[in-house]
Each structure stands twice: as structure tokens, then as C-alpha cells.
């Protein structure tokens, strides 16, 4: 493995479209590269090569010749190897803004080949020979595209792609794999895992250049669309949610972020909907949004769900944010909506966040706004500022992050499964998925021992992505063997709220050939209460594909009960405190009430951490639908529980 640092080739001046056509023809006429085979034989399943067994390529000196004028294509006799001048003219892109390609390859000769082909066409390249340095290199180089070998020691290409997709600033960067792996299933896995393209070798230089060019051009167009000025909806006058999130991201990435973000929620929305009916209620919310837009002056307003709005005020000084929020609250309350018997005045709760460099991305700021909104619901004024939670001890947080990062790099995460059994009997297999980390000492650690320390760490999204990928692979294998099952998969709302997460999951289900009903996304009650607004957006998209949702660690409460009507749930998993409800009359009555309300909402209820037959029998008499716990079977690595013979 090379120990040299990253190498950059600057883009030379090009000769225009005609010169590009000339040189492309020259590159296409090149015969396939043939090299004497090396004496060493790499071990099976080690890293692959870019184009066979290429020896170190001779770097092209891009400073020597500049094309003054190109001949017509018809008069060109293509040489066996393009001249430096012809290589310079391949890409006729704006010289002031060259294509930037990051090459990730641990073999110097293979990296040199790709570098010489791409840099010779006028692209700017950077070679990284240490996979662990990828993210740092991307942050400094800001590539238009990553060209990556799939099989490398340590971190392979799939793991690196996961890290890119989990990074807020780098997540949209195209990733193209070039490998000699002929397995079509592997290609499906790569594309489902977040890669944009999969190129097989050996590959002609022209084809490599064309693939890179098309991907970079598409990525640049998409980037321009992401930063375009937001367009107001012609019907409501509000900007789209995705546009406002993009504006928020741009605000946070500015040199000195400032301003405020506000979540505005209309109180009593459920009662209003029941009283007015859906059509009148929707018209009321459109009027409320237009009223907020007028009160917000030039600041963009977007509607998040049927009763909540978000306002971004990037030019608002910190001291004026509270006054602005009060004006929004009072201005909405003073307006009468509707006429006669249907006339109403609206009361709003407002969560307020002052934007500063402490927010790594838009998701973190939205998370803070939802936390502030939850506090505003019970505040006397209806307005609450975001208060950051007390951070963990720096050495403790860093230690947990380092352990998780090492475990990802060394593939030391594992999945365990625990059956969820119907008390009335049934043959349909379904399991709860549980994450385990095998420490460097060989001991298994449960998720509760390391995940809480990562609450605000980008690694949490990477772990969620890893878990879902493994679950989809497992489901695909079972469906292929004609043994379908359903898996419950815990996920963090912070991951689910990412703009590209729903797109990725929908695409992955399609690539794996899986029905949505095979997957149940599991979200904890405490997380759902904080992230209700963003969860609703994700759920609405996934429900259409058949994916179901489970609210876990559920306990009785007014906010928790309201949540049952706000999210499109299919399952409810009770808190472990109800596992021995038979010992407490108060807890017993509370649990029965929870089960009855869930059934009225059409939800199936799961009893959790059931350890003894007496508890299981009482749950059965209380109307529970499923039980899960060591009484049924301890969590393990197999999926062979006999559901047909299981009897409570």
C-alpha cells in the first residue's frame, strides 16, 4: 500500500468542442491496454484492479503542448496512444470550473492509470490511497464525483459509500465503482447501498471518461437546482418544505450563521378537524399559512404537515427573534377565520431556535426546533426557546464514538433476532431486530450500552443505514428461498428525517425485490414525541410502499395518546414496565386502557420483555395481540423459531 499523500493534477486549458470531438475519437481508437502479467498472485477476495494487471502508468505531462487548432475528425489517423495535446482537449468544460474527481484506490499503479486518463482529459484529480482518509479528503477537495475501487483492505467501497451518504455536506456526491467483480448480485447490492453507477473492467478509456462526464454534469445540474431560489406554491403562497430545508442548510454553511428558525403549530388541530370536516379544515390551514406568510414579511414559510409550519428568518438578529415570535403568535390569534357558526380564532405554539455554528446541518437545527416546540406546548406564553441538553463528558463521548467508528471499520457489528409471537396462534414469522457490538475483547454489547452516547453524532445515521442494509439482505435471501418473514427494525428519527433517506429506502426495496410489508420501522415513543413533524413526512412516503411502523416503549400519557392519531402506525409495543402489570392494580388498569385505545385506532399491541408464564397469561386476558421476550425465546443470530408450534 502506498504511503504517499494525495496527488492533485490541475486542469489545463482546453480547445473547445471541436477539439473535444477530435480527442474523443483518438481515445476511442486506442487498443485495449495489455500488460505482462505480474508474478505475484493476490489472495482470493482481496482488492480488484482497475484494468486487469496494469503496471505503473506513465504520467502525462500536461504542461507541454496546448492544442491551437484541431483537424476535422475525418482527417484524423488515430495513434495507438493519444498524444498529450489530444488528451488535454477531451473535456471542453469551462476552464475556470473543471470537473473534480476523487480516486480512491490503494494500488498505486491502478490509481495512476485512472488518474492519467481523467487528468489527461482536463479534469482535476485527487488520489487517496488510504480509505480512512476519504471524508477528510472530500471536505478539502470538494469533488464532483468519487471513483472508487470496490474491494480494498480494511474499509471496502460499500462501507465508504455509507459514510458519504451519512454526511450532511457530502451526501449528494456521486459515487461510481469500477471493479472486475462479475457477480450481478454484488452489483445490485452496490446500487442498493447508495452507489450511482457500477462499471466493469477492463474498460476503454473513452468509456471511463464518458461515464464520469455524464455523472458529473448531472450532479452539477442537480446541485444548481438545490440552491435555486425557492419557488412559492401558486395555490398556497408558501415555499416547499424541501426548498426551505435547502435554504436552512445554506444558512448554516455560511461563514457566520445567524438568524432564527421557528416551528409554529396550530393548537387543537384534532378537535378542529372533527368539528369542521376535512375540506373546511384544510381551507382553514391554507388561510392560516397565508396569514403567517403575511406576518413573516420577507422570511420564507413552509408547511410541514396538516397543522404545523416552519419559518426561516436568516437575517433576524438574535435579540429580535423573541419579539418576532410574539408578533406571529398574536397576529394569528387576532385574525378571525371563517364566518358565522364556523368562525374560529387560532392559538399557536412556537418553538424558537437561534441559528449558530453549533448546528452541523439542517437536520440538527430542525431537531432543535422540534424540541423547542414540545416545550412551547406547555409553556404559559406558548413560546419556548431551544435549550441544548447538557453534553456528555468529552472523554466519554469521544471514547464511545471511537469505539463505534472502529467497529464499523472492522465490521464488528452484529444483528440478533427475537421472535414476536401471536397469542392467538399464527404461522407468520416475524422478529425484532436487535443491534449488537462485539468489542475488541470479544464481548457482545447491547445497543443501550453505546447508542445513547451517539445521540447527536453523525455516526448514528451511519449505523442506522448499516442495520437497514443488513436487514434488506436478510429479507431478500429469505424471500428468494420462498420463506418470507417480517422484521421490525429500530431506527432513529434523526436518520429518517434526512431528505434522501426515504428515496434510498424505496429504491433499496425495489432493487432487493421486496414488498414493503416485510419491513416494520420501529421508533421509540420519546423520540417520536420530539420528532413528530418530520416523522410524519417520512411515514407518508413509506406507507404508500407498504412499509409499516411500530411505536415502541409506549407508556400512557396525553401526548402519547395524541401521537397515535398523528402517525400512521400499525403496531404498538408496550413499555417494559407493563410486563408485570398484574402485580399493581393501578398499572393493570392503565395497561388495559392503553390496549383498548390502541385497538380502537386499529393497532396491534405487543407485550415486551415477557419473562414468566404468569405475566404472559395476564397479557393474554387483557387483550394483547403479541408477546416478545425470553419466555418465548432469547435473542439470537438465527431465524428458525417454529411459529407454527408456538403455544402460549
Per-residue pLDDT tens digits for 60-109: 444 433 333 333 333 333 333 444 444 444 444 566 788 999 999 888 88
Q: Mean pLDDT across the chain, nearest whole number?
A: 80
**In this predicted structure, what is the pLDDT of residue 2?**
46
What dotted CATH number matches 241-385? Answer: 3.30.70.270
- Give per-residue pLDDT as tens, 563-574: 898 899 999 999
User: What's the predicted TM-score (pTM) here?
Assistant: 0.59
Q: Compute the distance between CA of residue 555 and CA of residue 535 in angstroms, rounded to an integer.
A: 19
**In this predicted structure, what is the pLDDT of residue 486?**
96
Q: Is the peptide bond before 202 cis (omega within 30 degrees of 0)?
A: yes
**In this predicted structure, what is the pLDDT of residue 111?**
86
- Give per-residue pLDDT as tens, 232-282: 777 788 988 878 888 888 888 776 778 899 999 998 888 888 888 888 898
- Regarding predicted confidence, which is higher, 263 or 644? 263
**In this predicted structure, what is the pLDDT of residue 584?**
83
**Among 124-138, 184-198, 389-403, the least confident range:** 389-403
Question: With DSSP H G I counted as helix, E B as strand and the rest as coil, what are the percentages for the chain, rounded to 5?
Answer: 45, 15, 40
**In this predicted structure, what is the pLDDT of residue 89?**
44
**In this predicted structure, what is the pLDDT of residue 63?**
41
**174 φ/ψ angles, rounded to the nearest 5 degrees:** -65, 140
Average pLDDT over residues 399-428: 84
Overall residue count recorded for the chain in this entry: 648
Q: What is the band of 27 on the pLDDT scale with cuts at 50, 70, 90? A: very low
Q: What percent of the chain has pLDDT over 70?
A: 81
The backbone region for 382, taken as left when phi is positive above 0, alpha when psi lies in -120 to 50, beta otherwise, is left
Q: Compute the distance between CA of residue 244 and CA of residue 151 in angstroms, rounded to an integer.
A: 39
Q: Find cell 420564507 and name the residue.
A: 300
Terminal Cα distance for the chain, rounded: 58
Q: Compute the distance between CA of residue 468 and CA of residue 350 in angstroms, rounded to an integer.
A: 34
Q: What is the band of 517 on the pLDDT scale with cuts at 50, 70, 90? A: very high
CATH superfamily of 7-226: Response regulator (3.40.50.2300)
Average pLDDT over residues 333-347: 87
**In this predicted structure, what is the pLDDT of residue 219?**
84
In Å, how far are 28, 172, 353, 358, 369 from 365, measured between CA atoms? Answer: 50, 19, 7, 9, 6
- Which regions of the chain carry the CATH code 3.20.20.450? 412-627
Strand order in the sheet with 348-354: 301-305, 308-313, 260-266, 348-354, 383-385
Q: Find cell 470550473 and name the residue.
A: 97
**In this predicted structure, what is the pLDDT of residue 559?**
82
Q: Compute the distance between CA of residue 175 and CA of residue 106 in angstroms, rounded to an integer.
A: 17
- Which regions of the chain carry the CATH code 3.40.50.2300? 7-226
- Regarding predicted confidence, which is higher, 150 or 76? 150
3-state secondary structure of 414: strand
Q: Check pLDDT > 70 for residue 374.
A: yes
Angle between helices 501-512 and 184-192 (to 10 degrees): 160
**In this predicted structure, what is the pLDDT of residue 70?**
38
Spatial neighbors of 394 by CB under 8 A, at least 6 apart, are none
For residue 284, how far is the Cα from the chain centroid? 34
Helices and strands in the chain: count of H runs, count of E runs? 21, 23
- Containing 490, the helix (H) or strand (E) segment is strand 486-490
**383 φ/ψ angles, rounded to the nearest 5 degrees:** -130, 135
3-state secondary structure of 413: strand
- Residue 71 grid coordinates: 483537424
Reply yes or no on domain 412-627 having CATH 3.40.50.300. no
Amino acid at each position: 500500500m502506498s504511503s504517499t499523500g494525495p496527488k492533485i493534477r490541475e486542469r489545463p486549458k482546453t480547445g473547445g468542442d471541436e477539439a473535444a470531438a477530435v480527442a474523443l475519437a483518438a481515445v476511442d481508437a486506442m487498443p485495449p491496454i495489455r500488460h505482462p502479467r505480474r508474478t505475484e498472485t493476490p489472495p482470493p477476495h482481496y482488492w480488484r484492479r482497475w484494468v486487469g494487471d496494469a503496471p505503473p502508468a506513465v504520467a502525462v505531462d500536461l504542461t507541454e503542448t496546448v492544442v491551437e487548432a484541431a483537424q476535422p475528425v475525418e482527417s484524423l489517423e488515430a495513434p495507438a496512444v493519444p498524444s498529450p495535446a489530444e488528451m488535454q482537449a477531451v473535456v471542453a468544460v469551462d476552464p475556470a470550473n473543471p470537473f473534480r474527481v476523487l480516486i480512491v484506490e490503494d494500488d498505486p499503479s491502478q490509481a495512476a492509470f485512472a488518474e492519467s486518463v481523467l487528468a489527461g482529459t482536463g479534469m482535476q484529480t485527487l488520489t487517496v490511497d488510504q480509505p480512512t482518509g476519504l471524508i477528510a479528503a472530500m471536505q478539502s477537495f470538494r469533488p464532483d464525483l468519487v471513483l472508487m475501487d470496490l474491494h480494498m483492505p480494511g474499509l471496502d467501497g460499500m462501507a465508504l459509500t455509507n459514510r458519504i451518504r451519512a454526511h450532511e455536506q457530502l451526501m449528494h456526491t456521486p459515487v461510481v465503482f469500477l471493479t472486475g467483480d462479475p457477480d450481478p448480485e454484488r452489483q445490485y447490492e452496490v446500487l442498493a447501498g447508495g452507489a450511482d453507477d457500477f462499471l466493469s473492467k477492463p474498460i476503454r478509456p473513452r468509456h471511463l471518461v464518458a461515464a464520469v462526464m455524464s455523472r458529473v454534469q448531472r450532479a452539477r445540474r442537480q446541485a444548481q437546482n438545490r440552491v435555486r431560489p425557492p419557488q412559492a406554491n401558486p395555490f398556497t403562497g408558501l415555499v416547499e418544505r424541501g426548498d426551505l430545508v435547502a435554504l436552512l442548510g445554506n444558512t448554516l454553511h455560511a461563514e457566520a450563521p445567524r438568524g432564527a428558525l421557528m416551528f409554529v403549530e396550530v393548537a387543537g388541530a384534532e378537535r378542529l378537524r372533527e368539528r369542521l370536516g376535512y375540506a373546511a379544515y384544510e381551507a382553514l390551514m391554507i388561510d392560516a399559512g397565508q396569514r403567517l406568510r403575511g406576518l413573516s414579511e420577507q422570511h420564507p414559510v413552509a408547511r410541514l404537515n396538516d397543522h404545523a409550519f416552519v419559518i426561516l428568518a436568516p437575517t433576524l438578529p438574535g435579540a429580535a427573534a423573541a419579539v418576532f415570535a410574539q408578533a406571529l403568535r398574536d397576529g394569528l390569534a387576532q385574525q378571525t377565520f371563517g364566518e358565522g357558526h364556523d368562525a374560529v380564532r387560532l392559538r399557536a405554539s412556537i418553538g424558537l431556535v437561534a441559528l449558530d455554528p453549533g448546528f452541523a446541518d439542517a437536520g440538527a437545527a430542525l431537531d432543535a426546533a422540534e424540541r423547542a416546540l414540545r416545550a412551547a406546548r406547555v409553556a404559559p406564553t406558548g413560546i419556548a426557546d431551544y435549550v441544548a441538553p447538557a453534553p456528555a463528558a468529552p472523554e466519554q463521548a469521544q471514547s464511545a464514538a471511537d469505539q463505534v467508528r472502529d467497529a464499523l471499520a472492522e465490521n464488528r457489528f452484529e444483528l440478533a433476532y427475537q421472535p414476536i409471537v401471536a397469542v392467538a396462534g399464527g404461522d407468520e414469522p416475524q422478529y425484532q431486530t436487535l443491534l449488537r457490538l462485539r468489542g475488541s475483547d470479544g464481548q457482545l454489547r447491547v445497543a443501550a450500552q453505546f447508542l445513547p452516547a451517539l445521540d447527536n453524532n453523525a455516526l448514528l445515521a451511519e449505523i442506522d443505514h448499516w442495520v437497514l442494509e443488513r436487514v434488506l439482505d436478510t429479507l431478500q435471501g429469505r424471500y428468494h428461498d420462498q420463506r418470507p418473514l417480517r422484521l421490525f427494525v429500530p431506527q432513529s428519527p434523526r436518520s429518517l428525517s434526512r431528505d434522501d433517506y426515504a428515496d434510498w429506502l424505496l429504491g433499496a426495496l425495489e432493487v432487493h425485490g421486496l414488498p414493503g410489508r416485510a419491513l416494520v420501522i420501529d421508533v421509540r415513543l420519546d423520540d417520536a414525541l420530539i420528532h413528530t413533524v418530520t416523522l410524519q413526512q417520512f411515514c407518508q412516503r413509506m406507507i404508500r410502499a407498504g412499509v409499516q411502523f411500530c411505536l415502541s416503549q409506549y407508556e400512557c400519557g396525553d401526548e402519547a395518546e395524541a401521537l397515535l392519531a398523528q402517525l400512521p402506525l400499525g403496531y404498538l409495543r408496550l413499555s417494559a414496565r407493563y410486563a408485570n402489570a398484574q402485580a399493581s392494580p393501578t398499572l393493570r388498569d392503565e395497561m388495559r386502557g392503553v390496549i383498548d385505545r390502541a385497538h380502537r385506532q386499529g393497532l396491534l399491541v405487543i407485550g415486551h420483555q415477557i419473562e414468566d408464564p404468569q405475566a404472559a397469561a395476564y397479557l393474554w386476558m387483557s387483550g394483547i395481540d403479541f408477546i416478545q421476550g425470553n419466555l418465548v425465546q432469547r435473542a439470537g443470530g438465527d431465524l428458525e423459531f417454529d411459529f407454527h408450534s408456538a403455544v402460549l
